Structure 1
Amino acid sequence: MSHKLRRRNIADPIPAPGTETRSQTNIDATQSSLSAPSVALSVLIVSSLVISALFWLYTQVPPASANGYAVCSRFGQRVYTVDDGNSAVQCLVIRDEFIVDTGSLDDVSARWYAVNPSGLTLQIRYIDDESIVVPGLSDSHAHILEYGANQQLPLEGGKTINETVALVRDYIVEHPDVYLDRSMFIEGWGWDHTSWPIEEWPSADALDSDPVIRGRPVVLQSKDCHALWVSKMVLQQSGPFPIDVEGGVVVRDELGNPTGVLLDNAQQLVNKPIPTEADLRRRFAITAKDALSLGLTSIHDAGLQPISLQFFERQAAEGLLPIRIYGMRYFDEAGPYFGNISKPIVNAGNGRLNVRSVKIFADGALRSGGAALYEPYHDNPGTKGFMRLDEEVLREIVPRFLKDQWQVNVHAIGDYANSVVLDTFEAALKDVNVTALRPRLEHAQILREEDMIRVGRLGVIASVQPTHATSDMWYAEARLGPERVKGLYAFRSLLDHGARLALGSDFPVEDMNPLSGFYAAVTRLSPDGVSPGGPSGWFPEQCLSRVQALRGITIDAAYASFTEDTLGSITPGKRADFVVLSQDIMSISVDQILKSRVQATFIDGELVYGSL
């Protein structure tokens, strides 16, 4: 049931954050400066207003204003602050862009009145009785513009090679401009050969067997972003290809001819058109719209190419960023070292854009068999995967970036790759304070126990994606075997060894919805409640608690982006980023979590999605 606004008049605007102290001592001091009768009268007025507010109905919610407003629950403490004590309160109070107070309705009203003697209005907005408020949600590993591009031609619905080819053909037929221009470049995203009845690589021949597709330039990105499937036209336009590619593979047939699939670094050999400004704006708009509707207020973009970085800088300069972005600059081994000639971007666009980290790839992906392992793959004993970056380059470049005060975020999937990266972090300790620079393992999927211990000891952040676990659990044991698989997505073990987890989705690889990650983290179950380990979850001992999962998408994600002083929790002095959810995900049965919906998303105190 929805409820209309109740409002009370409670005095003057409170000072901006930093000009007053919210401690009870200062409040008491302010009150003690008043005469005893006036204090008694103030208490009487506040009490009276608390009662009368229940009867004042308004037909619309007034806009946020300098007068300030409070968001409250009627019954109980349903505002999850994610503060140091993980406390819950009845209300939060917002003035301008900041949270200025939290507590019970009576307490925040009294404090508002104590510091606002001129009689201006504190507006009260009530959430529905079943709803809760949480801090603005963050995704610690995602691909913003790629998500927007993916929505043009998504391919996850194709459960066989032929079905996927049919999706491409249907897209061409349904778009007359594409159909009539056979030279138009066609890009799709999301095919997954591990989900097909026969796990095999597709081919250019399969695409060109369809007369509508034949002769067109087609590039299809795999679900994990570690493989491209291209048409014959693209092979012709991009070739000839080298026999060996460091950190990648050009898949070939028995005669040595490229089949149309390129893995990891070999993907860079494919010639693709550069997106236009209109393309970038369209892609960004799609992503931002979906993200805000799902309660995301901050996104860590895991690998900004120069064109993407420049686009976001332009958007920030024009005040056109509707969401917060923490960017990781892409490291190009073939390009110049930029750590000592480029400056991090800090709080551009009124705090909406920060770029102070670099993203480096160590190895490939488990799904495509490119994750670098200590021992051979269980289902393919002829390979241990491979490093995408030469180990000597990794050992040289990581300390250089750290010395130049860049956060270093390294994609590492396999146990061997993770160990090598941790070696480089540990070696850098002799010259820099590694913990202070908060280096990150992006994915941190398979680790030996001794390396989990090192993650905690070194202060390395494990940036993990819980929905990867529930996607990969169906084939993971076949890849790794029954023993080694126990070290895969071992979230609780990482926490137990002192690591800090920042949770993300890797969208568009997985579902953007942060509640999908929350659910996967606390259940280790697929959305329909099943797993290879049964209804208790896949290796349920690795489940996170709900508090741990909520912190992973709020305050710990903020810590991973150096913004924990301004974001990540509902505490006075921080920016007013918060979300209203339709259900209490901290207490409802787990099978109801994914039925929860975002009712409202606020950034800097302004409603950017939904209603309240």
Structure 2
Amino acid sequence: MQTFADIIILNARVLTMDETVPKAEAVAISGNKLVAVGASSEIKALKGPATRVIDAAGSTVLPGFNEAHMHIFMGSVGLRQLSLYKVKGFDELKAKVEDYAARNPNLKLLLARSADYTILSEAERTTRHDLDRVISDRPFAMIAPDHHTAWANTKALEIAGLLHGKQVGVGNEVVMGEDGLASGELREADAMQPVFDLSETGGREGLGIGTGGEPESVTPDERAIDLDIIRDGLAYCASLGITSIQNMDGNLYQLEILEEIEKTTGLPARVRMPYHMKNFMPLSDLAEKAALWRDRFNSDRLRCDFVKMFIDGVTEGESAVFLDDYAHRPGWKGDPLFSQQHLNEIVTEADRLKLPVAVHAIGDGAVRMVLDAYETAAETNGKRDARNRIEHIEVIHQDDVPRFKKLGVIASMQPTHPPGNAGLPLEPYLSFIGRDRWPLAFAWRTLADAGAEIIFATDWPVSPLDPMGCIHDAMTRQLWADDMPDQRLTLAETLAAYTSTGAHVEFMEDRKGVLQPGYLADIVVLSGDVETTASEDLASVRPVITICDGKVTYEKTPG
């Protein structure tokens, strides 16, 4: 008896990401699996009375995008907040905030995102006095794109109990002014959290990434709001061709919300989350919590099977850790959030429990500390296929480049982050790291040539989530100086970093990330042929249809 496909996609430029059969014309789906990949003439034979036929009309078809580093709750909340992306100057800021305040008269906290470090001045830091001139009668705060710094007006600082300063833990700071009161600048999550607590969500979106904790109490109405926010964010992911997200928040509250969505309407994207290990947590948490979460959330749709950590902050906030001094601040290298011994202990214990580790490391000093910890774990427990990661790697020392291949460490990097990309300014970043560090900043090509596996992502909401926008930024990155090495990857390498390599780091390369029979039906149909589109036009190529687990999760409305 003839078995027909549920969906067939014909007349496509299929980039399978399968090295053995890299290209095809058509694919067929039955249930949640691919059943055939080949020529349109072959796939047509699987068309039955109920088969849906999608004509790709010569456009690219890819495995669904795997956003390998993002924050779903925080990003989803950001969809409802005021965006200050590319806003410059006091007048434009004031107009934007006043309009947002007028449209949202009942918000407890006016909160804006994507506020550039130099939004008001190239030379001076924004203060509460500047923001008081923008709005003074309602609490207002704005967050930097990297979410490691925020600025609050006096009203917000007063209500949050920060105006007179507060001790907020190692690596965090309520910056004080010359008048003995808070300047308005808040560095890192523990300093920002008291202000975020004033918001409609009570700052719950920041708990996984920030304090590493769970909400103290949530009413049914508040939880319903959070669930709707995350649903909206997942739908947004699907609209961008994303079928897998690696959500770097790490708390049980989010996992249980995602579990509820999966059990009711179904997740429109596969979700992988870590257990977030902070420097104040006992080592026993890895066995008593992280390993148990792994056992509880272990499906192909929702998994919690690795550990996330921060070793430093960000360069612009002067909290990244470098081997040598900041170029603009002699005597300051940054303070790591863990000692080397403490980091080694955690990584070694996670490795013993066969929990992969992902560590945020921006500066070359932080990157070296993490590599040293991974090396220590391998020496202690025996080398294994751990697939540990380092997140961001904005600056690396030449001596550490070959260690990625040697240790099997994956480089998790963001094409939207280099200064000059995705609307980001060149300063103060370039001056802070100094000219000598430029050649090995965001060193994708250097790492790839040394044999490192690379995965790409946006760190949403730090940068816009759109994968095609990120791919555009990866392919059009500009040199900061004529003698700089070109760190771009090829288009094929870039697409792999967004699909097949993302599946490999999840230990799921045997069932997703490539288009071949028997694999999960996670697919994006684009509006054009990416191989013939000029690099500068790649962002204009849009997702037309997204399919996750054999179900259409997004379809562009005609017209």
TM-score band (shorter)?
0.7 to 0.9
C-alpha contact 1:148 1:282 (8 A) present in aligned 2: no
* Unaligned stretches of 5+ residues in structure 1: 1-10, 14-65, 114-119, 179-183, 526-530
Tell me the secondary structure at the aligned position of residue 270 of structure 1: helix
Number of equivalenced pairs: 525
CA distance in 2 between partners of 1:331 and 1:419 (Å):
19
What is the letter of the counterpart of residue 97 of structure 2? V
Please name the residue that 2:391 is paired with: 442
Tell me the secondary structure at the aligned position of residue 57 of structure 2: coil
Q: Among 100, 105, 113, which residue is 2:35 paired with?
A: 100
Please name the residue that 2:408 is paired with: 459
Tell me the secondary structure at the aligned position of residue 114 of structure 2: strand
Distance 1:433 1:502, change over 3 A: farther
Please name the residue that 1:63 is paired with: none
CA distance in 2 between partners of 1:477 and 1:269 (Å):
29
Distance 1:220 1:433, change over 3 A: farther
What is the letter of the counterpart of residue 523 of structure 2? F
Please name the residue that 1:89 is paired with: 24
Give the drift of 1:214: 2.6
Give the drift of 1:505: 0.4
Tell me the secondary structure at the aligned position of residue 284 of structure 1: helix
C-alpha contact 1:321 1:349 (8 A) present in aligned 2: no
Give the drift of 1:474: 2.0
Cα deviation digits, residues 482-512 of structure 1 (max 9, x gap) = 2211110110111111110111001111111
CA distance in 2 between partners of 1:319 and 1:401 (Å):
34
Q: Among 146, 164, 167, which residue is 1:224 paired with?
A: 146
Give the drift of 1:160: 2.8
Tell me the secondary structure at the aligned position of residue 416 of structure 2: helix
Q: Residue 253 in 1 paired to residue 177 in 2?
A: yes
Please name the residue that 2:215 is paired with: none
CA distance in 2 between partners of 1:279 and 1:494 (Å):
43
1:54-203 alignment runs, 5 A limit: 67-73=5-11, 78-85=13-20, 87-108=22-43, 123=51, 125-151=53-79, 152-161=81-90, 163-178=92-107, 184-203=108-127
Cα deviation digits, residues 510-562 of structure 1 (max 9, x gap) = 1111112212222314xxxxx6458xxx9462110111001000010111222
TM-score, normalised via structure 1 length:
0.80
Distance 1:244 1:139, change over 3 A: closer
Please name the residue that 2:242 is paired with: 296
C-alpha contact 2:168 2:190 (8 A) present in aligned 1: no
1:275-314 alignment runs, 5 A limit: 275=204, 276-314=222-260
Q: Among 493, 499, 502, which residue is 2:452 paired with?
A: 499
Tell me the secondary structure at the aligned position of residue 528 of structure 2: coil
Please name the residue that 2:156 is paired with: 234
What is the letter of the counterpart of residue 261 of structure 2? Q
Please name the residue that 1:474 is paired with: 426
Cα deviation digits, residues 199-258 of structure 1 (max 9, x gap) = 432222233335xx4343333222111112123233333345446841122211124422
Distance 1:157 1:542, change over 3 A: closer
CA distance in 2 between partners of 1:265 and 1:126 (Å):
46
The two structures, once aligned, show a CA RMSD in angstroms of 2.6
Cα deviation digits, residues 106-127 of structure 1 (max 9, x gap) = 44466x69xxxxxx65847243
Give the drift of 1:362: 0.5
Deviating above 4 A after TM superposition, structure 1's stretches of 4 or more consecutive aligned residues are 346-350
Cα deviation digits, residues 125-181 of structure 1 (max 9, x gap) = 243434121110111111111112112222224313554344333211122333xxx
**Among the aligned pairs, what percent are the same residue?**
27
Please name the residue that 1:23 is paired with: none
Give the drift of 1:86: 5.9
Tell me the secondary structure at the aligned position of residue 486 of structure 1: helix
Moved more, 386-395 or 240-249: 240-249
Give the drift of 1:345: 3.9
Distance 1:129 1:109, change over 3 A: closer
Please name the residue that 1:427 is paired with: 376
Give the drift of 1:196: 4.2
Tell me the secondary structure at the aligned position of residue 76 of structure 2: helix
CA distance in 2 between partners of 1:515 and 1:562 (Å):
25
C-alpha contact 2:10 2:43 (8 A) present in aligned 1: no
CA distance in 2 between partners of 1:217 and 1:394 (Å):
38
CA distance in 2 between partners of 1:274 and 1:244 (Å):
16
